[in-house]
Amino acid sequence: MDSFWQWVAGAMLTVVLGIALGKHSKDISLVLTMVVCCMILLAAAVYLQPVMEFVKRLQTMGQLDDGYGQILLKAVGIGLVTEFAVLICNDSGNSALGKSLQIAATVVVLWISLPLMESLLDLIERIMGGI
Amino acid sequence: MEIDLIFKIAAIGIIVTILHQVLARSGRDEQAMMTMLAGLVVVLMMMAQKIADLFELVKRLFRF
Amino acid sequence: MKKVLLLIFLIFNLAQPAWAMDYTAPTVPDSGADLMPAQTETFSQGLSKVLGKAIGLISPSLAEAAGVCLSLVGIVMLHSVLQTMPTDVKKVISLVSSLAIAGILLSRTSSMLSLGVKTIRELSDYGKLLLPVLTAALAAQGGVTGATALYAGTAVFDTILGTAIAKLLIPMVYGYLILAIAGTATGSERLNKLRDLVKSFVSWCLKIIIYIFTGYITITGVISGSADATAIKVTKITMSGMIPVVGGILSDASEAVLVGAGVMKNAVGTYGLLAVLSVWIAPFLQIGAQYLLLKLTGALCATFGAKEPSQLIDQFSGAMGLLLGMTAAMCTLLLVSTVCFMRGVG
């Protein structure tokens, strides 16, 4: 829990340093921001791990086909990473890149969830046939 | 959270800036530009390591 | 002379056939056989025994239902992590989580629905066996008009309800579920309104059928019953008044026969009631447990702030509720008519 305060302090520090560097070399300032974002997300992901373990435990208790949970998990992962990249792009003023990344991520998530949608459609078809 | 990494990058940035100014003032523009690029490359390498760590963790956590 | 003629006239017109036949209720179908108590003294004793056994039987299905709900909570927790995402990706991930919930719940709901249809069919078939026995017993006690009216009404409503449920209402429940899934996935208001319309239609149908049936039973039961009771009373008074010496004895004997037939009919009726309940109660408790658990899960997920998944879960529990209503309607139909038969001629 102490590390949370460290993150906040580190972020504030980075903002100031970024502004100081930004006057002369915008590129290094940007890289600095990226590195700090990365570190914060890394630290946060470590805290996310027990939550994921808990969710996994819930899934196994439900004794269900793990496929659905897996797909959703992957989609969340893609979403997180894309969020990070898009924010960096927008920050540096390159919003076109950010938007393209968003579109790409949307498409990939849809592609990942194809098996889910197919099995759902199969189920509905089976039910319709049975009526 | 390695605060020293932040300071390292910031220090590199400041040093590069100062060198760039000095070299530019004394008329050696190409060298000034090369110092700039060198500093950028060093910082990028530090960053690449961190980003690789992040992606590795995400892959492991979300079971890709 | 006139008196004798009058007596003969009255006896021919008012004497109702009353004989104590051997009436046995049809045996309970297999699904209820585990729950039937071995000996039924009174109805309330038998009822508590059936309930006790039924509650014992549902614990494995309860565990399964709880497992389903836990995995739903897991999915919604993941969904709530996404609240901070950029809009496009958030929409798609929302869609994926809704589809995941739908996939999990649809197969489970489908098995519950087939269980419900099977129970209703069994109840209907058992009713078709039980009612003729009760009708004959009631007719034997003297309530011929009442028995015929009651039997005709119950048989007609039994068929109407059974057919309506199997052919119309259950497909509509499936339609409701599919509309709910599509509506949540696309967020379309029109689909949501259509879905609500389907749900109201199903509940309205059930209520109408049961109200009409109860009204019919009340009207015909009361009128036929009291007419026959009067007829029997008049017969007894006539017999004791007009026939000298043996009139009193004959009228007492007739009352004993009538009471005996009444007891027989009530034993048949009690067994029939308990059989209907034992067929109905285990599936009802199973479906009811799933319904309650889904409602609970929906409420829990709403606290995570995930509006759409919790709405979808609520709609699935609504479908369970409709199913509960249908099975309860069928069971009520049989129970009410059996009790009317047991109440007999007033």
Q: How far apart are CA A38 and CA B2, in angstroms?
A: 11
| Residue showing tokens 């369970």 | C320
In this prediction, residue C249 carries a pLDDT of 53
Instruction: Point out the residues of chain C with pLDDT beneath 50.
Output: 19-20, 223, 225-227, 260-261, 345-346
Is-contact C261 C20, C-beta < 8 A? Answer: yes
Q: Kindly list the domain boundaries of chain B, sorted by start residue.
A: 3-61
Instruction: Point out the residues of chain A with pLDDT beneath 70.
Output: 1, 62-66, 131
Is-contact C185 C101, C-beta < 8 A? Answer: no
From the CA of A131, how many Å to the nearest CA of chain C?
7
Asked if the structure places residue C13 within a domain, the reply is no
In this prediction, residue C346 carries a pLDDT of 44
In this prediction, residue A65 carries a pLDDT of 63
How many residue pairs from chains A and C have C-beta atoms closer than 8 A? Answer: 114
Q: How far apart are CA C331 and CA C114, in angstroms?
A: 17
In this prediction, residue C13 carries a pLDDT of 56
CA angle A95, A74, A98 (to 5 degrees): 5
Q: Tens digit of pLDDT for each residue in B20-59?
A: 889 989 988 888 889 989 998 998 898 898 889 888 888 8
Asked if the structure places residue C223 within a domain, the reply is yes
Compute CA distances B53 → A11, A27, A87, C44, C212, whole Å: 19, 22, 19, 70, 71
Q: Give the residue numbers spanning the domain of C263.
A: 35-343
Asked if the structure places residue C299 within a domain, the reply is yes
Neighbours of C123 (CB within 10 A): 26
- Residues of chain A whose beta carbon is less than 8 angstroms from a beta carbon of chain C are 51, 54-56, 58-59, 61-64, 68-69, 71-73, 75-76, 78-80, 82-83, 86, 102-103, 105-106, 109-110, 112-113, 116-117, 119-120, 123-124, 127-128, 131
Asked if the structure places residue C184 within a domain, the reply is yes
In this prediction, residue C239 carries a pLDDT of 56
Count of domains forming chain C: 1
In this prediction, residue C302 carries a pLDDT of 85
In this prediction the ipTM stands at 0.81
Is-contact C303 C80, C-beta < 8 A? Answer: no
Residue B17 in contact with partner chain A when CB distance is under 8 A: yes
